[in-house]
A = this chain, B = another copy of it.
Amino acid sequence: MKVALIGFGNVGQSFTRVIHEKREMLRDRYDLEIELVAVSDIVKGSVLDDDGLDVCGLLDLVDETGTVEGYRGGVKGLDGVDTVRRTTAEVVVEATWTNLETGEPGLTHVREALGSGKHVVASNKGPIALAYRELTELASRKEVQLRYECTVMSGTPVLRTGVEGLAGHRIDSVAGILNGTTNYMLTRMEQGASYDEALREAQSKGYAEADPTADVEGWDAAGKIVILANALMDADLKPADVERRGITGISLGEIREATEVGDRIKLIARAERVGGEVKTSVLPTRMALEDPLWGVTGTMNAVTYMTDGLGAVTVVGRGAGGPETGHGLLSDLLAIHEATA
């Protein structure tokens, strides 16, 4: 299986390391040999070689020099779009950064890849949250797979559980803690930290960006609940359609009031059927001990599916991280391998 990788930051490098470290297991257990034939990154540079790249060399090189420009051989300097156009890879892995307003540059990469009959595995939420219908229809028309497990809770298999594990069920609602940064901050505030202290801690631990807006204002969770609603509840929504209130307005007093009676305030992303429509929201919500999401603390994430056949099914796991997402991208590649074997 020839793979082109667009985006060679933390996630892209983790993915590369995982497929290298696991190559024997992949051969033995899944009869799969993954060959990386292109890497393209706006900062780290780009190299394409249809005969396969030396993965170890590439990782060492970017570690030492910060770029892949020094790689011996291959075609250099192609941007993401040109890499997708030129590569003979069967699968394009899209691991560039998320932009929930335009979806770019990922959206163009995914469109180009699917349009030219390549499977796509995306960790980038932007294209999937903004153009779900267009992209899934394009994939179906071209008879290729579009997989995006890593867009929600990194590699924790929540989409696969919803789509395949719960096949045949009607999913009536989805409720989730889909942002680890805010869940960490709320947990710290329960323990007495102020909002500013909790934010500074989250930033110093690398959970929150210097500009934390996407997390604390609920945009990140909004992108994810839209993906879940579209994929599992036949909705056709965009992040801007989500009723959204972040955690910036929550006072320590409110949190104390909840914890005093054993409740917790969580930033809950929700999708539910109201009349004939699917309504989505991201709102600070008071949860009782009985709720399966109550115990999900720190940076952990979780999703509860309410189904007609099984009642509540909850998946709890990590929601972020380079190695986690790298592994998740591999799980998606294996799903494609299985489906096309």
| A interface residues with partner B (beta carbon < 8 Å) | 18, 22, 25-26, 30, 154-157, 160-161, 164-170, 289-290, 292, 294-295, 297, 307-318, 323-324, 326-328, 330-331, 333-335, 338
Q: Are A292 and B316 in contact (CB under 8 A)?
A: yes
**Interface pairs (13), CB distance under 8 Å:** A26-B168, A30-B168, A160-B161, A161-B161, A165-B331, A167-B330, A168-B330, A168-B334, A169-B331, A309-B328, A310-B318, A311-B318, A316-B316
Q: Are B30 and A167 in contact (CB under 8 A)?
A: yes
Give CA–CA (A290, B300) in the complex, Å.
11
Residues from chain B with a CB closer than 8 A to the CB of A18 are: 168, 309
Known: A169-B327, A311-B318. 4 other contacts (CB 8 A): A154-B310, A157-B164, A160-B165, A168-B330
Give this chain's copy count: 2
Residues from chain B with a CB closer than 8 A to the CB of A292 are: 295, 316
Q: Are B295 and A324 in contact (CB under 8 A)?
A: no
CB distance from A319 to the nearest CB of B (A): 10
Residues from chain B with a CB closer than 8 A to the CB of A310 are: 154-156, 317-318, 324, 327-328
Q: Are B169 and A165 in contact (CB under 8 A)?
A: no
Q: Are B168 and A331 in contact (CB under 8 A)?
A: yes
Residues from chain B with a CB closer than 8 A to the CB of A166 are: 157, 331
The 5 closest A-B pairs by CB, nearest first: A157-B165, A309-B327, A295-B295, A167-B334, A314-B316
Taking A294-B295, A311-B318, A317-B313 as contacts, is the C-beta distance between A161 and B165 under 8 angstroms?
A: yes
Q: Are B312 and A317 in contact (CB under 8 A)?
A: yes
Residues from chain B with a CB closer than 8 A to the CB of A326 are: 309
Give CA–CA (A337, B175) in the complex, Å.
29
Q: Are A317 and B311 in contact (CB under 8 A)?
A: yes
Taking A160-B164, A165-B160 as contacts, is the C-beta distance between A155 and B327 under 8 angstroms?
A: no
Give CA–CA (A292, B290) in the complex, Å.
14
Residues from chain B with a CB closer than 8 A to the CB of A307 are: 327
- The residue on B at minimum CB distance from A158 is B165
CB distance from A323 to the nearest CB of B (A): 7
Residues from chain B with a CB closer than 8 A to the CB of A335 are: 164, 167
Give CA–CA (A335, B331) in the complex, Å.
17
- The residue on B at minimum CB distance from A316 is B314
- The residue on B at minimum CB distance from A293 is B295
Interface centre among A317, A323, A327, A334 (most CB of B within 10 A): A317
